A and B are shown apart, each in its own frame.
Chain A
């Protein structure tokens, strides 16, 4: 996500426009896989 930044005359405010897309899909899958590994019978935690 490339932000655009306008830095003009010192007294004017710096304007920042930023687009952010938060992806949860992968995180949910990873956390589910980790949940199995973290559960007691894995013996690793």
Chain B
């Protein structure tokens, strides 16, 4: 520090920290409940400069973050292969240059792979301003297809924001397999656009549109004995089960809405036939489907041992 002008600078660096189950990030920082990093290597370097401007000190910071192979828990899911190199500068708050973030996999019931995005992070250091994240060129693969979004904003100072999410070539066979309903099978590929609205309260969708790629595909439902017994007494149900035992569709359109509490409402319109039913007479199928996606994900986490692994990794922290 030069005494005369009162200006000064200091640099600091944290040599590479290796995280592990025994030494997770939560050992160093007091982290929110459902977040921890227990794998990967992090290096931090930084410098601060303070200058006197008309009697007041202005402190500016420069921070460089380098994370490789980060793994751990976020929310109810597990992540692996998180890497980024981020440079942040600023005075009252830190603002990052666009940083490329890559994540090999994230799984909170449905495995998502090869996530990548460019992030600009605004991190206030004091006062009541909250962080803001500006994401661009997000893409990831899931269910045999790709999900992407050109631009997403998560600004905790605003009530919320909306942005388009695109789905390409999502495999209907894998979607139906998630339901794990005995006797239900289907194939074909969906593309679509989902207008997502985010707010600190959660995510919602209104007016999502999906459609199956031509030539379409098949839906097969082989009813179990109880459902078949039920159908004996109900002529319409019998017809429905007859048709969907081997339904070939050439057109599938889906309109979907999703609420922050997990409720998914879908209007599915199918056009096609069952070649072996009423000698292949054309069928128009209008299906109103309702389910709770958050419960579905929870069920998938239990079945896939994800919830047990998450509990174990968070439990380890309790025994500090």
Chains A and B form a bound pair: yes
Contacts of B298 in A (CB 8 A): 24, 28
Task: Give B207-242 as 1s and 0s: 1 = Cβ < 8 Å from A's Cβ atoms.
Answer: 000000000000000000000000000111101100
Complexed CA–CA distance, A4 and B235 (Å): 10
Q: Does A7 contact B (CB under 8 A)?
A: yes
Q: How far is the CA of A4 from the CA of B21 in the complex (A)?
A: 56
Chain B's interface size range is 20 to 34
Question: Contacts A2-B234, A5-B236, A24-B298 given: A18-B281 contact, CB under 8 Å?
Answer: no
Closest to A34 in B: B302
Contact check, A32 vs B302: say whether CB atoms are below 8 A apart.
yes
Q: Given contacts A24-B299, A31-B303, A35-B302, are A18 and B286 in contact (CB under 8 A)?
A: yes
Q: A3-B240, A7-B239, A32-B302 are in contact. Are A18 and B288 (CB under 8 A)?
A: yes
Q: How large is the interface on A (under 10, 10 to 19, 20 to 34, 35 or more residues)?
A: 20 to 34
Q: Is the CB of A44 closer than 8 A to any CB of chain B?
A: no
A25–B302 alpha-carbon span in the complex (Å): 13
Contacts A22-B291, A24-B299 known; A2 to B236 CB distance under 8 Å?
Answer: yes
A14-B295 CB under 8 A given contacts A5-B236, A20-B290: no
Which residues of B line the A interface, CB within 8 A?
179, 234-237, 239-240, 243, 271, 278, 281-292, 295-296, 298-299, 302-303, 308
Please list the residues of chain A having a beta carbon within 8 angstroms of any beta carbon in chain B: 2-5, 7, 10, 13-22, 24-25, 27-28, 31-32, 35
